[in-house]
Amino acid sequence: TMPWMVLLFGLLIIPLGVVSVSFIIIQPPLIGALCTLCILQAAVTVVLIPYSVDEVLATIQYLWGATRAGEPFWRTFWMGGPALSENQTPGADLDRPAFEVLKEFVTGGVNFPWTLVASTLL
């Protein structure tokens, strides 16, 4: 409902995440040691980046579709707009057990290929 907020979030997470991971990569050759807190922060950032990229791309697609449907761009950007899909009725997700919601949160949307897991462990 607030595309400007999603784009601001993406502007903060994506570049700062790339810089954070880059600093972790150059830390051993330049300093000769690794920082445990820095590695933990980089691991959290690696998890956050794919989710924020998805949200930013979805917002850009929404703004594009709303503009093509005749909605004013800036009003939609600042105030949001109507749903552009045919199915505008939300599903009953609130009556599911918490474990199912958590499982879908962890496994849905983003996958973890073995190369990413191995690189993170290294």
Mean pLDDT split into 10-residue runs, the chain, 122 residues: 88 84 83 81 81 88 89 89 64 73 74 83 86
Provide the pLDDT for residue 92. 62
On whether the pTM is more than 0.75, the answer is no
Provide the pLDDT for residue 105. 74
**DSSP conformational letter for 103:** H
CA 35 to each of CA 29, 41, 73: distance values in angstroms, whole numbers, following the listed order: 13, 10, 45
Provide the pLDDT for residue 60. 92
Provide the pLDDT for residue 85. 62
